[in-house]
Structure 1
Amino acid sequence: MVKLSVPKILLGLGLLVVLGYIASDLLISDDQYAYKLRQERKQKNEQFRSHRDSPLPEELHEKFDSLHYYPIDRAWRLTARLERLPAGDTLSLALTDGGADKYTRFARATFEWQGQPQTLTLLRRVSKTDSTLFVPFTDKTNGRGSYGGGRYLDVETPARRDREVVLDFNRTYNPYCAYGGNFACPMPPKENWLTVEVPVGEKSYKE
């Protein structure tokens, strides 16, 4: 019978401990991620219920309970390849009231889902100065679980040297037009029409 020396036994035990810590960190990280999302959604519900700028008609504030969401799926927090676009590359997004808003194409993000390549253009509103980029998009859940007119995603502006960008579709949200009222909402451009289902983020308000 082969006997293991004490150093080898300790080495093996140490490796198991390290692997255990790694697995534990991953589980905690996922729990923290989900917890933070749930807190964000709770705060949004409170804003919709009581805030004077709520997109809900005032008569619905007291009856409002909660927005509807797909289950949280960490797999939809994607890292996409980033391709910056030339400065001054602009487009006009049609609004639901017939008008239009001007945006600058900041970059193109590409990723693959279940073997299917997908592309999204990250936009910045010409008249806007905050640090986030705007990503209006459609996917195959629209009208079949999610809002028929498409949904939105906000993305932190990548650093100058970044070649990748995180797209967290669990934070996808509806335009104000999804809740009724007289709003003018940007419509997703054809270049942001995804060919797959994105079964995460906010669902249709009127299910």
Structure 2
Amino acid sequence: MRLLSFFLLFVSWFGIAQDKFDTAASSAYQKQLDKEYADPKESPLMEQDFKTFKGLDFYPIDAKYIVQAKLVKSQSEKPFEMKTTGTRRPMYVKYGEARFILDGKSCKLNIYRNIELSKKEGYHDYLFLPFSDLTSGKETYIGGRYIELRETKGETVTIDFNRAFNPYCAYNHNYSCPIVPLENDLAVEIKAGVKKFHD
């Protein structure tokens, strides 16, 4: 019994420690995002918005929305033109599919690679995950949100929805932003990450 109790205590402690680690990373990411958006040199905000900007509106950080997804990497995918909110048509290629369970529902999201960006130093392993969900157009930006990922060699990928952010065009119409593909529309609520900017 003592051994079993110790084992359960260890599992419980490890789980809590892991959650704290994950959510601490989420919090650090959000603070960095706030810092960037408050800097006129880096921010997509329009000039008049800086007068009242006190930080982005985030959902409370929740470890529930840090999911370990099965990664099914694509084979021999052809590059395609990603539709944007403007006339720009950047070339992307499908990197793979992330499959996971959330709120008891099976979910699947396509992950993409921006071909031109991947040629730049420091971005060779950069991946793009656009998505929309049942909060889109209500509590979050109607056009969906993005998550940045890095290429992984394993068969799983960690998706932290607490790091979901809005396209720049949610703040400034001068930007041209990739439109979330229909296949990346989730039939669940993702109450994590950045909320919409203006009500």
Which one of the candidate residues 114, 126, 148 is aligned to 2:142? Answer: 148
- CA distance, structure 2, for counterparts of residue 101 and residue 84 of structure 1: 21
Give 2:68's aligned residue.
79
Residue of structure 2 aligned with 1:138, choices 132, 143, 156: 132
Query: 2:197 maps to what in 1?
Result: 205
For normalisation by structure 1, the TM-score amounts to 0.84
- Structure 2 match to 1:177: 169
Whole-Å Cα distance in 2 between the matches of residues 193 and 60 of structure 1? 30
Q: CA deviation at 1:17?
A: 4.3
Number of matched pairs: 194
TM-score (norm 2): 0.87
Specify every segment of 5 or more residues in structure 2 that has no aligned partner in the other structure, as ranges: none
What is residue 63 of structure 1 aligned with on the other side? 52
Q: Deviations over 1:104-135 (max 9, x none)?
A: 11111222333432221110011012112101
CA deviations over 1:87-112 (Å, ceiling 9, x no partner): 34222211111332110111112223
Instruction: Check the 8 A contact 1:134/1:153 in 2, yes or no.
Output: yes
Residues 1:186 and 2:178 aligned together: yes
SS at match of 1:94: coil
> How far does residue 22 in structure 1 lie from its aligned partner after superposition?
3.6
Match of 1:4 in 2: none
User: What is the CA distance between 1:188 and its match in structure 2?
Assistant: 0.7
Aligned to 2:117: 128
Match of residue 165, structure 1, among 128, 132, 157:
157
Moved more, 40-49 or 182-191: 40-49
Corresponding position of 1:7: none
- 1:98 maps to which of 81, 84, 87: 87
Distance 1:158 1:45 in 2: 27
The one-character-per-residue Cα deviations of 1:48-81 (angstroms, maximum 9, x if unpaired) are 1124121011332242101011122212211222
Residue among 15, 18, 23 paired with 1:34? 23
Match of 1:108 in 2: 97
Q: Distance in 2 between matches of 1:170 and 1:204?
A: 14
Whether the 8 Å CA contact 1:56–1:181 is kept in 2: the answer is: no
**Which runs of 5 or more residues in structure 1 are unaligned?**
1-11
Secondary structure of 2:158's aligned partner: strand
Name the Cα RMSD after superposition: 1.9
Greater shift, 123-132 or 162-171, is seen at 162-171
- Distance in 2, matches of 1:84 and 1:68, equals 34
C-alpha distance in structure 1 between counterparts of 2:56 and 2:129, whole Å: 21
- In structure 2, the CA distance between the partners of 1:32 and 1:108, relative to structure 1 (3 Å rule), is closer
